[in-house]
Amino acid sequence: MGAPRRATLRFTSIAIGVALAIVASPAAAFCRSTTCTGDCPRDADGCKTTGKQLFWPGVCVGVSLQRDGSVNIPIADVRSVVATSFATWSALDCGGAAATISFSQLADVSCHQTEFNTSAPNANIILFQDTQWHYKGVDNTLAKTTVTFDAKTGEILDADIELNHAYNELTVSDTTVVVDLQSVLTHEIGHFIGLDHSPDPDATMFAGYDDGSTNLRTLEADDIAAACAVYPPTRSGKCEPAPRNGLGDACGASAPTTSGGETSGCAIAAAPSNTANRLLSLLGLGLALRVRRRDRFRS
């Protein structure tokens, strides 16, 4: 991938340590999300060491676009970028056989919020926040993926991706790029399928985005290794793209709840506006805060 990205000496030494420690899989620097939330123990690579690892139980996951899209991007363009971004993670080559995860674009939905309903229909929603952003970071947070899972098994029940178009100019152009929607989505879909940030600076799941870049549109070896680890070709599973309790158009009839599961969020955040370096962070987790702080003071 393009120009060097945040390859500090500290990260380099960590990457070498991992490569030596994991003899069988020298390229496996990736981290998986787990059921542990809050201040979780992590290894030298920054990967959580406790909790069940997250995964979608089926081999097909249904995804819906929030029907309003964005006021600033034609809906046809949004639909195309969403489809392309999910296709990037679909049926990846795990050394001659395909990873057992793919996606189905289901009907658009009117619900414009992240939620999981235990006793009402659901949708895995891609939605734009055009006028407000409630999360930490405000203007320097580009997107947030909320994953709801079974805390006992790590099974993912629902996932929603919110895009912060209220404070950032998301673009779909290949040539005039501000914040590339496809890059942001491709990174967030990694969280959507159960991946955490990777320490590999070349990985799309690395916690960084450079303004004007389209680098994160493609997956790197570390990202593919991660997907293959979670969804190996040998895994058996049914293709049932319908969300839990069926596809729901409106937000749930019952009060949104995460009972029986927990919710973790990941956000893409940007460095202060006087730098060209946007960062991706896990809200509330120490690793992301350290990364942001280190880059914040780098010129």
Least distance to Zn ion from the beta carbon of 66, Å?
20
> Residue 198 Cβ, how far from Zn ion at the closest point, in Å?
10
From the list 70-78, 96-104, 218-226, 276-284, the region that binds Zn ion by CB under 5 A is 276-284
Alpha carbon distance 175, 32 (integer Å): 33
Q: Does 189 bind Zn ion (CB under 5 A)?
A: no
As a whole number of angstroms, the distance between CA 63 and CA 160 comes to 9
**Rounded Cα–Cα distance for residues 201 and 199 (Å):** 6
Please say which residue, 31 or 177, places its beta carbon nearer to Zn ion.
31
CB of 284 to Zn ion, least distance (A): 13
State yes or no: residue 161 binds Zn ion (CB under 5 A).
no
Under rule CB under 5 A, residue 280 binds Zn ion: yes
Collapsing DSSP to helix, strand or coil, 126 comes out as: strand
Q: Which two tokens stand for residue 52?
A: 């069940």
Asked if 147 is part of the footprint of Zn ion (rule: CB under 5 A), the reply reads: no
Q: Does 142 bind Zn ion (CB under 5 A)?
A: no
At residue 273, the 3 state secondary structure works out as: coil
Which CB sits closer to Zn ion, 225 or 280?
Answer: 280
CB of 149 to Zn ion, least distance (A): 17
Give 59 or 147: the residue with its C-beta nearer to Zn ion. Answer: 147
Of the pair 247, 283, the CB lying nearest Zn ion is at: 283
In the complex, minimum distance from the CB of residue 221 to Zn ion, in angstroms, rounded to a whole number:
18
Mention every residue, 6+ apart, whose C-beta is less than 8 A from residue 226: 28, 30, 31, 32, 190, 195, 198, 205
Nearer to Zn ion, 117 or 164 (CB): 164
Q: Provide the β-strand partners of residue 127.
A: 162
Q: Least CB distance from residue 35 to Zn ion, whole Å?
A: 18
Shortest Cβ distance from residue 187 to Zn ion (Å)? 6
**Residue showing tokens 């099974």:** 155
Closest CB to Zn ion among residues 78, 279? 279
In whole angstroms, give the CA distance from residue 139 to residue 82.
22
**Contacts (CB under 5 A) with Zn ion, residues 244-273:** 266
Using the minimum distance from each CB to Zn ion, give the nearer residue, 82 or 268. Answer: 268
Reported in sequence order, the residue ranges of the chain that DSSP labels E, i.e. its strands, are: 60-65, 102-105, 125-129, 141-150, 156-164, 170-171, 179-180, 208-210, 261-270, 277-281
SS3 274: coil
Q: How far is the CB of 152 from Zn ion (least distance, A)?
A: 25
Total residues contacting Zn ion (rule CB under 5 A)?
A: 2
Can you tell me whether residue 159 is helix, strand or coil? strand
Residue 185 binds Zn ion (CB under 5 A)? no
Taking CB atoms, the residue at the shortest distance from Zn ion is 280
What does DSSP say about strands 60-65 and 125-129: parallel, antiparallel, or unpaired?
Answer: parallel
Measured from the Cβ of residue 178, the count of other Cβ atoms closer than 10 Å reads: 12
Name the site residues for Zn ion (rule: CB under 5 A).
266, 280
